[in-house]
Amino acid sequence: MERVHTRRPEQRPDEWVLLSYRLPREPSTPRITIWRKLKRLGVAQISDGLVALPADARTREHLDWLADEILEAGGAATVWLAQPTSRAQERELAAAMADARAAEYRAVLAEAARANGLPTAERNRVLRKLRAELRRINRRDYFPPPERRAATEAVAALHADRKEDTAS
């Protein structure tokens, strides 16, 4: 199934920013902090200690600062700009990232569906929570899967004023 829309098909692969890093096993707190930050950024895990993001000013800056943070924690880190040598490799990376986001959007969709029948006050509470969750997912969504739109619409429809639109 072709679900990933790369930005410039049939051309040379785009540039990626890679962070190669190693952290001491102990203490575990910096390891966990870094792992959480990488997860939040939605990185593609290429191998143990090597992660990638499509390169732009924001992703480069995030990985640069993370590299500094790893160095400060007594680890080793280098940041690279690279191009996969083939479109196929790039598609594989992008597909893995899109699949990870799709799963997150599906979880939002499921929660929105469950909230649909709730009383207004409770539904609004879920609406606020899911809007925040969607924003978090959108920020790490570099290759939007179809689930993005479905989740966005399902969450918007939880609002009382928009419920009628979608029900009809």
Taking CB under 8 A as the rule, does residue 128 contact another protein? Answer: no
Of 14, 64, 92, 99, the one binding another protein (CB under 8 A) is: 64
* C-alpha–C-alpha distance, residues 42 and 52, integer Å: 9
Taking CB under 8 A as the rule, does residue 129 contact another protein? Answer: no
Nearest approach in angstroms of CB 166 to another protein is 25
Query: CA torsion, points 47, 49, 50, 52, in degrees to nearest 10?
Result: 110
Taking CB under 8 A as the rule, does residue 122 contact another protein? Answer: no
Nearest approach in angstroms of CB 139 to another protein is 7
Which ranges of the chain would DSSP assign to H, the alpha helix?
28-41, 57-72, 87-115, 120-139, 147-156, 160-167
Nearest approach in angstroms of CB 60 to another protein is 10
Taking CB under 8 A as the rule, does residue 133 contact another protein? Answer: no
Cβ neighbours of 20 (radius 10 Å): 16
What DSSP state is assigned to residue 156?
H
Residue type, 130: L
Taking CB under 8 A as the rule, does residue 67 contact another protein? Answer: yes
List contacts with another protein (CB under 8 A). 33, 37, 40, 57-58, 61, 64-65, 67-69, 72, 135, 139
